Amino acid sequence: MAILDILEYPDPRLRTQAQPVNVVDDSIRRLIADMLETMYEAPGIGLAASQVDVHLRIIVVDVSENRDEPHAFINPELTLIGESVEFEEGCLSIPGFYEPVSRAEGVRVRALDTAGDVIEQQFDGLLSACVQHENDHLDGKLFVDYLSVLKRSRIRKKLEKQQRLRA
Ligand code: GNR
Ligand code: NI
């Protein structure tokens, strides 16, 4: 197992369109184990492969209190359900910033599991928002894209400054 480095906004690699996984093999299962370890260590409630600079369609989530209900979805396909509701969102690639984002209240996810079998599950609440946030990463989309140009550019400038000071 390994803790992976998480890319930070405005790194252009976060804008990469992720590619479907062709075969669910041991290298994919190892990546998922490393993604879960990285998510728990961060700590976060979700992680997309895009955030660790692997541009494959894989997401992991765990919104449980005890951090013992991991979900991994390979090649997820989402069907949005219900009205839109606002969630306060953060992102491990945009550390320290939290803003409300409108998301569908429910989501149906069709995906492959770590055995390569097709699964279909439905979620609501925070898990629904988190799955939608992770799926956006796979298409190079970030929660700041839903904010005003002004808010987004303020966040970008603050992060760029932090990154300059760190370098
Ligand atoms: O840790 C995270 N918290 C969060 C809160 C509300 C909605 C989505 C998220 S996902 C985020 C981890 C992350 O950046 N995943 O891509
Ligand atoms: Ni994120």
The ligand 1 atom at the shortest distance from the C-alpha of residue 101 is: 7
Contacts of 133 (CB under 8 A, 6+ apart): 46, 89, 91, 101, 103, 143
CA of 9 to the centre of ligand 2 (A): 10
Closest to 62 in 3D by CA, of 26, 98, 37, 25: 37
pLDDT in tens, 115-141: 999 999 999 999 999 999 999 999 999
Residue bearing the CA closest to ligand 1, atom 16:
47
Q: Which amino acid is at 59?
A: I
Residues whose CB falls within 8 Å of the CB of residue 51, separated by 6 or more in sequence, listed in order:
6, 7, 14, 92, 93, 137
- CA-wise closest residue to 132 among 156, 94, 101: 101
Give the residue numbers annotated as catalytic, written as ranges.
134
Ligand 1 center from residue 31 Cα (angstroms): 19
Give this prediction's pTM: 0.98
pLDDT, tens digit, 9 for 90 and up, residues 35-72? 999 999 999 999 999 999 999 999 999 999 999 999 99
Query: What separation in Å is there between the alpha carbon of 60 and the centre of ligand 2?
Result: 11
